Structure 1
């Protein structure tokens, strides 16, 4: 008895079936069995392509011939189905069809076509774009899903390998909104990392300008953003030199400079940084434009609020110029880390004390506010206590909150205007994926502290179960590590707490 016969016999012994009236009966009685020999069938279909057997059509891409089968093409692609089955298409009557593909797509067209026969294809960060380009063009829905899933789970790798901006641009143009959001958020929260890649030059001007206008951008300070944009502008100038005539370069480049640099919030730079900008070659070349923008910053820092209000009225999105982003400089932020996270006991706390600036404008001085940050990464435990009320004493039972909590305490809220201190709070949560440490997510809250409201509790800043993964009691080697843990041993929780005063003109 060969292997196939033995498999058939074993299956016959085990399988049951349901009769028409819903009762389960032994399949042996009717000699009905069900077998799965799909692998062999797929192998046969793959052989048709590999050995070029019985093909009835030939696809030609860049002078390379790919013998194929109409049935397989139509079953795999909606586009091929319309092209080859609709009489109004001339291709439906032809046995040889020439396809126009980009050089990048032409190189992998054979692998793309082989997927139709085998359901297998090799995907990497460097070739996923031409693969999904072909899948989109010919509407191969299952392959589109595979590519999108790959991209969604390898965004950090694409960033360090220099393909992320290209992913973003493609997903925007083709309407893959989930990938667009994933790429956009990663860039917004990790723009310094992305700006160091060669792919940064591929940012389209409108997309970059839109990103640069956002208040949720994570950046050390506004000067760092200016330098990132300056680097990008250098790439664009070189591109214009390679593609335009000399007479058009200055006009086109000037427009690009104005478009992206209008998004820079010069009032958020210190007076010293504004003075340093005068030495920049870019600033000197377009002196009138930049001096006007820098003057807005100096008016703010010198307390000339009447000028500021005029600017807000005249300038489109003028209020944003005085809105702090998520700046990670020491004057408004501090890191808090929990090392040896796996050894931390439940309900234990890590505490951080730091100071942040109380005002944005320089003329007010360097007044600061002191904060106490308590982090509860493994839940919050409230012990049993007695509450004294007018009826008597009430016993309150202990209880536990399964939450990753960050508690902020403002020691002495400024009360200059009698309404306390309004702040924007940002909590940057780091993680690791594809061995790339980066900011995974950001929590933003606007809150006002005063003498009667000194404490703010932020719950679920990280999903509790995702951070505190339980080990498999049967197979401990299969235990996974939370994506929110970093460090050499992936056992460190790392957060960055940012506290900035609110825009004073809102």
Structure 2
């Protein structure tokens, strides 16, 4: 019945279909020779449909949400939602025989149900960071596919906005549970690359335990140092303690809180803290309260710094993911990273490079001393130009023609490898701008071995060339790259992180 009705609305029927093949050629010929025109009066028709809802005309069903009545039309509901179509047209459902249907909605969804229903009639709805999640929840529940796509597109383009307004963790957890994998991955990347920014919001306390623990096991987490991560988790635990006190008895609170401490603090990489930081940790109220657990974790850290290799191996083998405790994350502390910026990016000539020289610690363990390794970073943000040169081989001289490579390249040189097989973890953190929020927008991570014969590592396509240089590509010249930051959006900003891979 619904397909027949829609066919009538679009001007097609079975009779039309049977006549169509024979009538097409004559119709085309007539239209070419006549002065007929195609009239588009769809706006007026849509306005008439919207008026049915606005003025509550000719409704044949009433939806009740949280005690509020919403007169509606079965045809519109069924045409817009697969769920309503089954509910209202299948005899097996009791709702199909009723003129009044009560719907159970969450406290977040009930207040915006009117706007959700209005979308069925008008195709218009106002979306912002605070309402997109309940709108998406309704669209998912009733399988309104076009509205689902609109919500997901909005979320994809406003992840940074959600972060500063304290809704990003909720976005992550909902999209992860509902299978919107592209958006959940975008949310997760933003959180793990900008954890300190997200941890300052109240929404950080809403992090589900399992999702948070999964995040803590990742080595691609970007944070100043491991002590900073510890403090972020302290903040999360304080939020849980306040929540539990309002729900449980005092003795139940302590048992549950102890379990939470074990769960979130076990993945913390205490060996990556310096001995001074480990000593300062003894003064923390949380450490004092759960002294036995923390002293044992801190002793693992001190074993690493004092060179107790057997103890390190024992922990790596006996604990689940124990080896990760001795693997550095992407730390932005000065001892293993440096900032590289290119100001006035638009005035930088094509194929020119900028250079950064800095040093990083050769070992994270205290017993190894303060030896450092020096690095030279060359960044080619506007392509690489290989000039013509001559290659001398035993047969003679071979001319190599010039070549231009449209690639954003980073060349990393180890000036003097400290041993014949120096293994390091390299992270290139690239900043971006979205909704006026500066954040780490892209991360490239690689493990590489340097030696006296292999001192140079070239990373090509660090960013899509056309995205960083839209004026050199096919994109409109008015488009500004999302990877340029600063007040005038003319600064390329990178953080180079190099740590020894234990």
Mapped contact 1:19–1:25 kept (Cα < 8 A): no
Partner of 2:480: 481
Query: Structure 2 length as normaliser, TM-score?
Result: 0.93
> C-alpha displacement at 1:40, in angstroms?
1.1
Mapped contact 2:470–2:476 kept (Cα < 8 A): no
The secondary structure found in structure 2 opposite 1:470 is: helix
1:406-440 deviation digits (Å, cap 9, x = unpaired): 0001010011xxx4210111000000000000000
> C-alpha displacement at 1:106, in angstroms?
1.1
Mapped contact 2:466–2:473 kept (Cα < 8 A): no
Q: 2:251 aligns with which of 247, 252, 255?
A: 247
Matches within 5 A, 1:386-401: 386-401=390-405
> C-alpha displacement at 1:35, in angstroms?
2.3
**Aligned residue pair count:** 482
The secondary structure found in structure 2 opposite 1:97 is: strand
Partner of 1:440: 441
Matches within 5 A, 1:89-108: 89-108=93-112
Mapped contact 2:337–2:496 kept (Cα < 8 A): yes
**C-alpha separation between the residues in 1 aligned to 2:23 and 2:75?**
35
1:151-192 deviation digits (Å, cap 9, x = unpaired): 111000000011001111111221111111010000010000
Mapped contact 1:486–1:494 kept (Cα < 8 A): yes
**C-alpha separation between the residues in 2 aligned to 1:374 and 1:161?**
37
Partner of 1:265: 269
Partner of 1:466: 467
Mapped contact 1:125–1:163 kept (Cα < 8 A): yes
Partner of 1:363: 367
User: Residue 86 and residue 20 in structure 1: after superposition, are their counterparts in 2 closer, same or farther (change >3 A)?
Assistant: closer
Mapped contact 2:433–2:483 kept (Cα < 8 A): yes
The secondary structure found in structure 1 opposite 2:360 is: strand
Unaligned runs of 5+ in 1: 1-17
The secondary structure found in structure 1 opposite 2:334 is: coil
> C-alpha displacement at 1:379, in angstroms?
0.7
Partner of 1:422: 423
> C-alpha displacement at 1:31, in angstroms?
6.5
> C-alpha displacement at 1:34, in angstroms?
2.9
**C-alpha separation between the residues in 2 aligned to 1:168 and 1:107?**
22
Matches within 5 A, 1:134-213: 134-213=138-217
**C-alpha separation between the residues in 1 aligned to 2:253 and 2:304?**
35
Partner of 1:14: none
Pair 1:280-2:303 in alignment? no
User: Residue 23 and residue 384 in structure 1: after superposition, are their counterparts in 2 closer, same or farther (change >3 A)?
Assistant: farther
Partner of 1:85: 89
> C-alpha displacement at 1:21, in angstroms?
5.3
Unaligned runs of 5+ in 2: 1-21
Mapped contact 1:267–1:294 kept (Cα < 8 A): yes
Pair 1:43-2:44 in alignment? no
**C-alpha separation between the residues in 1 aligned to 2:279 and 2:112?**
53
User: Residue 214 and residue 137 in structure 1: after superposition, are their counterparts in 2 closer, same or farther (change >3 A)?
Assistant: same
The secondary structure found in structure 1 opposite 2:76 is: helix
**C-alpha separation between the residues in 1 aligned to 2:300 and 2:278?**
10
Q: 2:235 aligns with which of 226, 231, 244?
A: 231
The secondary structure found in structure 1 opposite 2:117 is: helix
**C-alpha separation between the residues in 1 aligned to 2:95 and 2:296?**
61
Partner of 2:501: 502
1:325-356 deviation digits (Å, cap 9, x = unpaired): 00001111101110000000011110000001
1:442-485 deviation digits (Å, cap 9, x = unpaired): 00111100000011111010111110111799986xx0100000
**C-alpha separation between the residues in 2 aligned to 1:79 and 1:463?**
41
CA RMSD of aligned residues (A): 1.9
The secondary structure found in structure 1 opposite 2:241 is: helix
Pair 1:113-2:112 in alignment? no
Partner of 2:13: none
**C-alpha separation between the residues in 1 aligned to 2:391 and 2:93?**
82
User: Residue 222 and residue 303 in structure 1: after superposition, are their counterparts in 2 closer, same or farther (change >3 A)?
Assistant: same
> C-alpha displacement at 1:51, in angstroms?
0.6
Mapped contact 1:267–1:300 kept (Cα < 8 A): yes
1:3-22 deviation digits (Å, cap 9, x = unpaired): xxxxxxxxxxxxxxx97459
Partner of 1:5: none
**C-alpha separation between the residues in 1 aligned to 2:217 and 2:395?**
57
Mapped contact 1:471–1:480 kept (Cα < 8 A): no
